[in-house]
Structure 1
Amino acid sequence: WKFMPFSMEIDQAFIAAILTVIGYSLNDTVVVFDRIREFLNEHHSWSLDKTINHSLNSTLSRTLNTSLTTIVVLLAMFIFGADSLRGLLFALIVGVIVGTYSSLFIATPIMYDTAKKGDAAESLKDKPKEEDQ
């Protein structure tokens, strides 16, 4: 692998790292979406974009702190650990970064766009059809 800082094989440890990162990313996404659900139930007068913005702001510090502390530990293990763990740790480091980014900046906008399209479809469905006279 030319982009890797060391030689690495895709083995069971690498697969375990990928599965761990998927779970980590899903957990971050669930936390953000749960906060959105909570704010939707508490603040009925807020628009969807305001609700999502406040939800992201309230979970941002938790998400970043969790990810940064995890990355610090993984980097320490990567630098000072055994060579046999480097592939696993490299996959975990990259995965935590990508997972945190996707939870905050990809999953939430997709949910917003989907909700907006659903609202537009509902409003079109609810309008009475004008019949030709």
Structure 2
Amino acid sequence: MDGDQDAELQALRARRMAEMQAQYGGGQEDEKKKAEAQREQELQKNSILSQILDQAARARLNTIAQVKPEKAQKVEGMLIQMAQTGQLGGKVTENQLKSLLEQVSQVTQKKTVVKFDRRRHAVDSDDDEYG
């Protein structure tokens, strides 16, 4: 009976190892497919943007993408949508891009309030003693 149990245990281990390898290998393939799809999407986006933006506007958008990537993504999405719906008459100039950026800034602008509690930090000129 010892031989039968060893054989069953070996078979079970081999099956489990094969399952684990299939899961791990499948995960790598999924990641490769996702990365490839993301690269393809990025190429399509860049192709569309190069068709609808003039050179100066494209340069400004690239500069903004380096500083504020989320803002640039919103503007790129808006531009692509406008191009797909036929709202753009020709290539977008730098001035048109500036006005679009201003619109996005007004919508996404966050109001920051800074409160300073003097008592909490014990900064009071009355507490100063000299002498």
> What is the TM-score of this pair, normalised by structure 1?
0.28
> What is the TM-score of this pair, normalised by structure 2?
0.28
Q: Which has the larger radius of gyration?
A: 2
Bigger relative CO (Cα 8 Å, ≥ 6 apart): 1
